[in-house]
Amino acid sequence: MTKEYKTIKTELRLPYELAYGATWTRFFEGMKEKKIYGTKCPKCGRVLVPARSFCPRCFVDMGEWIEVSQEGKLVAWCYTNYRYFGMPTEPPFIGAQINLDGTDVNFLHLIGGFDLSNFDEVRKIVKNGMKVRAEWKDDRNAHIMDIRYFKPL
Ligand SMILES: [Zn+2]
pLDDT tens for each residue of 69-108: 999 999 999 999 998 877 878 999 999 999 999 999 999 9
How remote is the CA of residue 15 from the centroid of ligand 1, in Å? 34
Question: Which protein residues have their CB within 5 A of the ion that is ligand 1?
Answer: 41, 43-44, 55, 57-58
Give exposure, 47-77, as e/b (b: 16+ Cβ within 10 Å). Answer: bbbbbbeebeeeeeebeeebebebebebeeb
Q: How many helices (H) and strands (E) does the chain have?
A: 2, 8
pLDDT digits (tens, 9 = 90+) for 6-52: 999 998 888 889 898 999 999 999 999 999 999 999 999 999 999 99
DSSP 145: G
Query: Before 152, cis peptide (omega within 30)?
Result: no
Question: pLDDT band at residue 144, thresholds of 50, 70 and 90?
Answer: very high
